[in-house]
């Protein structure tokens, strides 16, 4: 009785240890085959003796099921994006637009005009929007293609905007993204700048506008 309980106590202590060299090297605590229940050993043996053809068929069926699920997910995202395209086209919003790039519905090209009354008025920017398979539950990857001098845009065109990060919601769509970015151009968040030079210059609107328009490239 005491002999049978000893390995169990040792095993329990091993599982409570943090994962590391001590745990990995504690081979004495391993359960021996003799202590494995009969039904468990039987299942292990039957698993090892499984017909290779049957195993391959099972693996193939699982793969097809996974592919089928992936296709269904992409189809659902495609329908969502088609609806968003129609909504954007029918909205009549001024200064924003976006369309799929070629035949790829998961990659769009967007445009934003600087709003009137801001230093960006008269400037037109191109953006790229890439949608993941998990859209709309995962945020799209949005960046400026046209170089944009702005406190919340870095040199690679990536944008510091909360709704594209931790504040993303499935309720947002392409239209709301473009409108938010257009609004951000005129109302930057200088508390978390990606471009510190632009953030420092922002308070001097005349100097900012002069630098912005002199360096703007279509």
Q: Which residues contact 159 (CB under 8 A, 6 or more apart)?
A: 142, 143, 144, 152, 153, 181, 184
User: How many whole angstroms separate alpha carbon 38 and alpha carbon 24?
Assistant: 27
Strands 124-130 and 96-101: unpaired
Which residue is catalytic, options 14, 23, 148, 160? 160
**Three-class secondary structure of residue 82 per DSSP:** helix
Identify whether 148 is a catalytic site residue.
no
List % helix, strand, coil for the chain (3-state, nearest 5). 50, 15, 35
How far is CA 52 from each of CA 40, 48, 83, rounded to the nearest angstrom?
21, 10, 47
Per DSSP, the residues of 144-207 read: ESS----TTB-TT-BB--GGGTTT--TT--HHHHHHHHHHHHHS--TTS-S-HHHHHHTTSHHH
Strands 104-113 and 141-144: unpaired
Q: How many CA atoms lie within 13 A of 142 on its CB side?
A: 27
User: How many whole angstroms separate alpha carbon 141 and alpha carbon 59?
Assistant: 34
**Residues with a known catalytic role:** 160
């Amino acid at each position: 009785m005491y002999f049978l309980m000893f390995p169990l106590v040792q095993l329990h202590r091993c599982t409570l240890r943090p994962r590391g060299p001590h745990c990995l090297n504690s081979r004495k605590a391993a359960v021996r085959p003799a202590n494995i229940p009969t039904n468990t050993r039987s299942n292990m043996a039957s698993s090892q003796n499984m017909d290779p053809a049957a195993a391959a068929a099972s693996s193939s069926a699982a793969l097809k099921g996974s592919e089928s699920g992936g296709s269904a997910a992409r189809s659902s995202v495609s329908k969502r994006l088609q609806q968003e395209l129609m909504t954007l086209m029918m909205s009549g919003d001024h200064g924003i637009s976006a369309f799929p790039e070629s035949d790829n519905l998961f990659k769009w090209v967007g445009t934003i005009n600087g709003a009137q009354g801001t230093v960006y008025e008269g400037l037109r920017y191109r953006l790229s929007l890439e949608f993941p398979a998990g859209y709309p539950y995962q945020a799209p990857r949005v960046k400026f293609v046209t170089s944009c001098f702005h406190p919340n845009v870095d040199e690679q065109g990536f944008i510091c905007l909360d709704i594209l990060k931790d504040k993303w919601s499935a309720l947002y769509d392409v239209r709301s993204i473009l409108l938010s970015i257009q609004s951000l151009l005129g109302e930057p968040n200088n508390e978390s700048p990606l471009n510190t030079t632009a953030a420092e210059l922002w308070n001097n609107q005349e100097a900012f506008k002069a630098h912005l328009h002199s360096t703007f490239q279509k």
